Amino acid sequence: MPTYQPPLRDMQFVMNEVLDLPAKLRELPVHAELDSDTIAAILEEGGKFAAEVLLPLNPVGDRQGCKLNTSTHEVTTPDGFKQAFEQYVQGGWPSLSCDPAYGGQGLPLVVNQCFYEMLNSANQAWTMYPGLTHGAYECLHAHGSDAQKQLYLPKLTSGEWTGTMCLTEAHCGTDLGLLRTKAEPLPDGSYALTGNKIFISAGEHDFVSNIVHLVLARLPDAPQGSKGISLFVVPKYVVHADGTLGERNRIHCGGLEHKMGIHGNATCQMVLDGAIGTLVGQPHKGLAAMFVMMNAARIGVGMQSLGLTEVAYQNALAYAKERIQSRSLSGVKQPSQPADGILVHPDVRKMLLTAKAYAEGGRALNLYCALLIDQELNHPNEAVRQQAADMVAMLTPIVKAFITDNGWIATSSCMQVLGGHGFISEWGMEQFVRDARINMIYEGTNTIQSLDLLGRKVLGNQGETLKKFGQMIAELVAAESGHEEMAPFIQPLAKLAQQMTSFTGEIGMKAMANADEVGAAAVDYLRVAGHLVFGYFWARMAQVALQQISAGSNDPFYKAKVQTARFYFSRLFPETASLMLTARSGSEVLMDTDAVFA
């Protein structure tokens, strides 16, 4: 069975030494008193829960899956899942970063994100249940009425109830403007919803007494397309005004999806047959309200693949340290053994370093985005709040798409390190690969994220936010331009930052004549942008590590950080050159192909 050691040292490095989290939190009145030692203690306990409670259940959930009773429409989760959720609730973990007004602990989101990374490493399928609940909490916190907040938020915060997001229908995935679920107004001000939803993660399960569904539907007078979508809160059991549960609502699980991975999560087909719901926010403005949950989910999906990348790396490295096979090409390294350990082989190291570089780069980016959200929500300066909001909006599609693409690459590489054993289920590595594959698809496929980045977040505002990130790079380059040991990191980063301006402008000009140019370039463009962002954080991490070494530190952690940075810039970062070539090749080679598909 796989093992897992929470990467607490690296989390502390990113938070305290790279992001200077203690100083940033002091700027936020609501978090000004929180210190690093408290955060470290919380994450140490969270890591124990992940490694000791959730990790052993991961293969159990994969083998057993969820079971639907077609007579009662109730879903039973794998052995131990419900009990683990009870421990999670007893530990107070659901309330970690929730509003104290509704029973939350009010901790920064950056702490919650560290915790969720560990949960995802241990058991992604299980973690999706509380993860979606937190998304529902955030949506209602931002857009719910006072009555809805008082009714639902305390129970979601405590973990007494869980939540979902019900968007997708069989005939429409990301194109939610095509959805058909109807909401008919009732005399008492509520609505009766009728329709069918698919791919609803955690849509039905046995963890709690009530499940709060956030459902997109159309009112009778709704205009066509995405401008005619409203959002409703539809509980599994009707909730009375005093918070007690009433009759079973007319929403149920009609079937479970049979999937490649995440078997321990109930992915449901949900049937609404006159289910009673209440409107969230304004009529026809539901998509904007739901985007609070969707954007949180997109960052959460990036965290899922980050978690899988980390745990896959740890297990591949452990295997490589024990496995002997063949001799080193440069001469025998372990003469007392019949063969050398596979760590002597350059390509094995390349696969391991790829996973390590993508894990640690992804951690830095994810925690930076979490800090931006904390600033957006809590900073007393409006200009800082807006700047943080703009930056996290641009980075969200990169977090979702780049980190999940990297997760697929990394888990596949780690499976390769194990050779034939990687393909065997008892080692657990092939589960990481299968679980990782969904993350590139849901919450908006990675192509959709790429179109969002290039079309809306970059070209849509004339690259203003991208330029601000470029300013961060320019400041780092200026500060380190005279330091020879930083040249391997600063020089390629500075070069790409310069190229990005002309690269973006060229695609933008071509798109003015033919919009398909955006679609043809977008996926490659996002990957280039992803490396630009990762490159910045890897240069920052190398900067901090070199400063510590120069100051006399003998901690091997810093030496390893510099070596990984050197690998990243030498072996992974150069892919940007070929990506810019293929992005510039244009749309004609893709679209002028009717004969191929005839």
User: Residue 195: what are its φ and ψ, rounded to 5°?
Assistant: 165, -175
One domain, residues 103 and 137: yes
Looking at residue 442, what is its pLDDT? 87
Find all residues with CB under 8 Å of 85, minimum gap 6, and list them.
126, 129, 130, 159, 207, 208
The mean per-residue pLDDT over the stretch 276-289 comes to: 92
- For 332-358, the pLDDT digits (tens) are 999 999 999 999 999 999 999 999 999
Model pTM?
A: 0.97
Tell me what the pLDDT averaged over the chain comes to: 96
What local confidence, expressed as pLDDT, does residue 293 receive? 64
For residues 567 and 541, state if they share a domain.
Answer: yes
Can you tell me the distance from the alpha carbon of 232 to that of 99, in angstroms, rounded to the nearest whole number? 22
| pLDDT value of residue 333 | 92
Using DSSP bridges, classify how beta strands 162-166 and 211-217 pair: parallel, antiparallel or unpaired.
parallel
Q: 470 CB contacts (<8 Å, ≥6 apart)?
A: 497, 500, 501
User: Which residue among 264, 286, 308 closes a domain?
Assistant: 286
Q: What is the DSSP secondary-structure string of 495-560?
A: HHHHHHHHHHHHHHHHHHH-THHHHHHHHHHHHHHHHHHHHHHHHHHHHHHHHHHHTT---HHHHH
Q: What are the tokens at 554?
A: 């003998």
Q: Which pLDDT does position 292 carry in this prediction?
A: 67
- Picking from 286, 306, 339, the residue at the C-terminal end of a domain is 286
Q: Tell me which residue range forms the domain holding 134.
A: 8-67+75-154
133 and 231 belong to one structural domain: no
Contact between 28 and 379 under an 8 Å Cβ cutoff? The reply is: yes
The yes-or-no verdict on residue 429 having pLDDT over 70 is: yes
In the chain, the percentage of residues whose pLDDT exceeds 70 is 99
pLDDT digits (tens, 9 = 90+) for 480-528: 998 999 999 999 999 999 999 999 999 999 999 999 999 999 999 999 9
The mean pLDDT value for 311-329 works out to 96
> Is 288 buried (19+), middle (13-18) or exposed (0-12) by CB count in 10 A?
middle
Determine whether 443 is an active site residue: yes
One DSSP character per residue, 37-73 reads HHHHHHHHHHHHIIIIIITTHHHHHHHH--EEETTTT
- Whether 235 and 249 have beta carbons less than 8 Å apart is answered as yes
Helix%, strand%, coil% for the chain, nearest 5: 65, 10, 25
Among 243, 268, 286, identify where a domain stops.
286
Rounded Cα gap, residues 510 and 505, in angstroms? 9
Tell me the pairing of strands 182-185 and 267-280. Answer: unpaired
In a domain, 221, yes or no: yes
Residue 441 vs residues 56, 287, 298, 400: alpha-carbon distances, Å: 27, 20, 11, 10
Residue with the bigger pLDDT between 292 and 97: it is 97
Residue 296, pLDDT above cutoff 80: no
Q: 168 lies in a domain?
A: yes
430-483 pLDDT, tens digit per residue, is 999 999 999 999 888 999 999 999 999 999 999 999 999 999 999 999 999 989
**What pLDDT does 172 receive?**
85
Question: For the chain, what is the domain count?
Answer: 3
Whether 71 has a pLDDT exceeding 90, the answer reads: yes
> Is the residue at 276 inside a domain?
yes
Q: What CATH number does residue 90 fall under?
A: 1.10.540.10
The answer to the question of residue 356 being in a domain is no
* Amino acid identity for residue 579 in this structure: L
Residue with tokens 């192909």: 593
Say if residue 124 is in the same domain as residue 260.
no
What digits encode the pLDDT tens for the residues 359-397? Answer: 999 999 999 999 999 999 999 999 999 999 999 999 999
What value does the mean pLDDT take over residues 572-581? 98
Whole-angstrom distance, CA of residue 273 vs CA of residue 269:
13
Residues 510 and 571 in one domain: yes
Q: pLDDT confidence of 591, banded at 50, 70, 90?
A: very high
Q: pLDDT digit string (tens) for 10-42?
A: 999 999 999 999 999 999 999 999 999 999 999
Structure-token pair, residue 138: 């955030």
- Checking if the pLDDT of 289 tops 90, the result is no
Predicted local confidence at residue 297, as pLDDT: 77
Within this chain, do residues 211 and 282 fall inside the same structural domain, yes or no? Answer: yes
Mean pLDDT of 300-322: 97
At 11, is the secondary structure helix, strand, or coil?
Answer: helix
Q: Is the pLDDT of residue 398 over 80?
A: yes
pLDDT at 321 over 90: yes
Distance CA 133, CA 93 (A): 12
Please give the sequence-ordered ranges of beta strands (E in DSSP) within 250-342, or none if there are none. 251-256, 267-280
Query: Among residues 310, 430, 443, 517, which one is catalytic?
Result: 443
In terms of domains, do 85 and 171 share one? no
Which residue reads 């991961």 in tokens?
58
Q: What is the reported pLDDT for 153?
A: 98
Q: Are residues 260 and 149 in the same domain?
A: no
Query: What's the count of helices (H) and strands (E) in the chain, helices before strands?
Result: 18, 11
